[in-house]
Structure 1
């Protein structure tokens, strides 16, 4: 199991000041001042600062402190403080893993902030609610909260507060990137995090910029662009160190360790993880310490230091148990169960893997359940309990297939979302150009009337009109070019969707044939295979593609027919796809033939077009 990459820490930091050793040193003096302070707004702000420090170091005790904060704010009618107090209570429940309670108190916080026109409070409550929905895999609700923030930002000029409260709107895009990360939509995550980085840079706050850099490093790591990941994470770490932000420097060390783990450089991974463990002791941030110990345990396992690995996982389990983090404890449980199996301590191994499977299934944590069944299947095999091993392996395969199908669906959703975004952006660009043209026309009309009123020379009027016409023609050309570029994107997206659809149908067909051979009856499978064949051979798909193609490459088919009258309709299809510069695999999927069939088709086409071995078929097609 790879070490955990940390995303969630960032959202704590952008809403409240980063936890550091100096704050811990201040705690005793703050408590003393608070106890001797009269009940007023200043006292409420004091307890809020105390809660910020204790939330991570003493999460059990801090609940009473938050309730005290709420009571004080109600007593002195301090509405803003009451909204912040509910926000803190929601944060407490969120980090305890009681997510429904967290959502309830984020909503209460938002309901107090809205009548106060406290935009910052509303934005923060929406951001944190979105994070909870993401943890619950209720992504539609998460996007709803985040899009509400974006709508407020885009219409900020119409609000009573104007731009007030939007300084850190980058956080919304930051969390949106995290939601896409959770779905495995890394390109959309990258796009939104880059926007967050741009907005953070406008604040001239280096710590917020470092947060975005840290997440960009995580995204690039998931995309396996390890050099980019290292560059972003190293820059973030150096920025945190510069500002003595030890808490977030710890997280950058966690992520650097994870990147080196993925690269297979386990010695370097262990180095960063050990540095993180030393640093985290200054902050007393137990959740991050648990992640570090578990990550180091995974690294030691790769280095075949099994005894050290077990001790690391035990420390992670102890910390998560102390914090009551029931879901986060599954990773070290699974790892230690696997480690005990490797040293043939089957009883302890089964104990931990049983716990993983039971809790993961009850909380619908598919990844953890899948890994638990896989590892327990290996364990049963080592125990020579082959029936149980086979049963667990089947369950592992079922979960794995489910995750694979989910991953494929998300890839299609990401492609569609990117297409919709680009389409919207293109439409906006076209509208802006149309407005510019209209403004130019209005300007020309007004100027012509003025020239006539003033009786300027006809030659001067003609010269000016000619210049304006040239400008208008230039704008019209830009508009046509933009429309053509948009159609090219539509054509490419349609072709890729067609290729992916045919590939998926072909895989489904092979699976149906495989199942048919295993089952006694074949009637249902034959019907399914015929339906798939019908859809694979459906000419409507090609007709839709041809319509898009002709809009982009006008007269291509007629030019080919004129120059090469012997070309067949199938060869014309191949030429069209070559014109788009698609790969042989993509062309094979679209035409529903094998890659070897594509090679033969290209060879026959070269002969028909009288091309020698030195001539390039691709170059010829591009000139048609």
Structure 2
């Protein structure tokens, strides 16, 4: 469902010192610079700055949230800690780091529940639900949305109730439960009308238009889309305008009204370019390809499809570059933290040694005074012996600590290398699958064109098909994949060959994919065969491995020579 999710910003907590409006960032920075005392007021200022930076600069938001968390924790300021968890969690979410975001938001939820802050717990539940929704985990998303709704109904807050209903409607839509989705959207719409929220009213009309379109009620869909479009234009919501125009164009294309479809899609493209909405442009190119294909303009359809693929590759490469940069940042941060910890440990050791030396020195002086001059020579020799023993002991202790620290650093480095290699393998596997799927999709499209065109075009399409076939040779890609795989799972394939010498090269490939827990569709895409062929290959593999019916093939691969994943080259 290509609609806009309402990003539910957290409400300010009761301990807030300022108004409920969003204060300017420069004003908050000025207040923070004036209030240098490490107290709860400073915690609140840091958290508010984190909230203001959510959309402007998520990394800055994360920075201020972390500062607030550290200070609040040192003050045992539980409300400030809970709020800081929320700030950091949403900051990670807006950067696309869903796993980390969920960790912080769940900590925030637990803290709010412990404090009895029911409303803020509901807000956090809604945000957690939105993350699960973006990850397509619809069951969990629905669970959190419904729990948040039940709490909002107790407070009677119309905006919060409507927001929860809208998100529940989105989940039902994606589950194809259109009656439930329609009911949720209509309830939300009535509440938004009561509070006079034009942005959300436009969003609700658009959602109702989507439902009418998929259920074939095109006249009703057009009415809803027009109402959404009028409101979006009134409030200047260019993203909303682009999305609504796109849906109207798509609806007309499904009705075979090609002239109207092209008109609305072109308008949507112009607006999307104004706001540089690359993902929306990608959807528009794909829909224009479908339009020209339906018209029989296959050359133009191919041009739009090429624009779609180019933009898709650009967005994919940008996302991959962002992920690599994040991995590098995490690695550098961990290195700095280790250096700081090592320096602190050295300082503590030196301070302890200084205190010990002082105590010993005073003891020796006192002993010399008590014993007097008669025992001077004896005590001097004893003190020299003690000092030498202490130096030997200190040297031995220092050597032992150095060896232990070196071992820990090597262990940490080994773990980091393993993590990086695993993520590198995962990234390459995803790219491998996407490449295979792209070529397969292009081949299918070319076959359709060959059946629908003249002999001359058919020859050209056949040439392009051969070109695609040449590029879909996955041998070289498989060698690259095998290299990444063996970096993470050393000797796995070699040990399989030694234990089961009858395994073919194709069966060894299948074993590697099972080691990565790939499903039938993913394995079929990489191996270049159908899912049914993968099933047959798995059945033959089980026989060669002499597995019983109750033995799980994937579990067998995970447990086979498990120690192979413990080392990294």
- Same-fold status (TM-score > 0.5): yes
Match of 1:125 among 43, 49, 58: 49
Q: CA deviation at 1:334?
A: 1.4
Residue of structure 2 equivalent to 1:309: 221
| 1:390-429 aligned within 5 A | 390-406=302-318
Residue of structure 2 equivalent to 1:10: 9
Residue of structure 2 equivalent to 1:242: 154
Residue of structure 2 equivalent to 1:369: 281
Q: Does the CA-based 8 Å contact 1:378-1:389 persist in structure 2?
A: yes
Q: CA deviation at 1:354?
A: 1.8
Residue of structure 1 equivalent to 2:428: 501
Q: Does the CA-based 8 Å contact 1:114-1:122 persist in structure 2?
A: no
Instruction: Tell which has more relative contact order, 1 or 2 (C-alpha 8 A, sep 6+).
Output: 1
May I ask how many residue pairs the two structures share in their alignment? 464
Residue of structure 1 equivalent to 2:63: 147
Match of 2:210 among 298, 319, 343: 298
Q: Does the CA-based 8 Å contact 1:213-1:233 persist in structure 2?
A: yes
Residue of structure 2 equivalent to 1:179: 94
Q: Does the CA-based 8 Å contact 2:46-2:64 persist in structure 1?
A: no
Q: Does the CA-based 8 Å contact 1:340-1:349 persist in structure 2?
A: yes
**Residue aligned with 1:10, SS:** coil
Residue of structure 2 equivalent to 1:36: none
Q: CA deviation at 1:250?
A: 0.6
1:282 aligns with 2:194: yes
Whole-Å separation in 2 of the counterparts to 1:179 and 1:250: 22
489 and 569 in structure 1: CA distance in 2 versus 1, 3 angstrom threshold: farther
| 1:318-467 aligned within 5 A | 318-343=230-255, 346-382=258-294, 387-406=299-318
Q: CA deviation at 1:583?
A: 3.6
285 and 531 in structure 1: CA distance in 2 versus 1, 3 angstrom threshold: same
Q: Does the CA-based 8 Å contact 2:89-2:102 persist in structure 1?
A: no
Residue of structure 1 equivalent to 2:85: 170
Q: CA deviation at 1:565?
A: 9.2
1:214 aligns with 2:126: yes
Residue of structure 1 equivalent to 2:450: none
**Residue aligned with 2:213, SS:** helix
Q: Does the CA-based 8 Å contact 1:254-1:292 persist in structure 2?
A: yes
**Long gaps (5+) in structure 2:** 354-406, 444-461, 564-569
Q: CA deviation at 1:282?
A: 2.1
Q: Does the CA-based 8 Å contact 2:46-2:67 persist in structure 1?
A: no
**Long gaps (5+) in structure 1:** 18-40, 53-86, 89-104, 134-141, 443-479, 550-556
Q: Does the CA-based 8 Å contact 2:265-2:284 persist in structure 1?
A: yes
**Residue aligned with 2:490, SS:** helix
What do the CA deviations read for 1:144-202 (whole angstroms, capped 9, x no partner)? 3322321332144779x98896562233134224314xx3x443443332233223334
Whole-Å separation in 1 of the counterparts to 2:499 and 2:259: 76
Q: CA deviation at 1:302?
A: 1.3
What do the CA deviations read for 1:519-538 (whole angstroms, capped 9, x no partner)? 9xx9xx99x99996875575
601 and 491 in structure 1: CA distance in 2 versus 1, 3 angstrom threshold: farther
Whole-Å separation in 1 of the counterparts to 2:317 and 2:140: 29
**Residue aligned with 1:169, SS:** helix
Q: CA deviation at 1:242?
A: 0.5
| 1:59-70 aligned within 5 A | none
Residue of structure 2 equivalent to 1:463: none
Residue of structure 2 equivalent to 1:101: none
What do the CA deviations read for 1:380-402 (whole angstroms, capped 9, x no partner)? 45556555444333322322343
Whole-Å separation in 1 of the counterparts to 2:338 and 2:508: 31
Q: CA deviation at 1:274?
A: 0.4
RMSD, matched Cα:
5.7
Q: Does the CA-based 8 Å contact 2:25-2:49 persist in structure 1?
A: yes
169 and 384 in structure 1: CA distance in 2 versus 1, 3 angstrom threshold: same
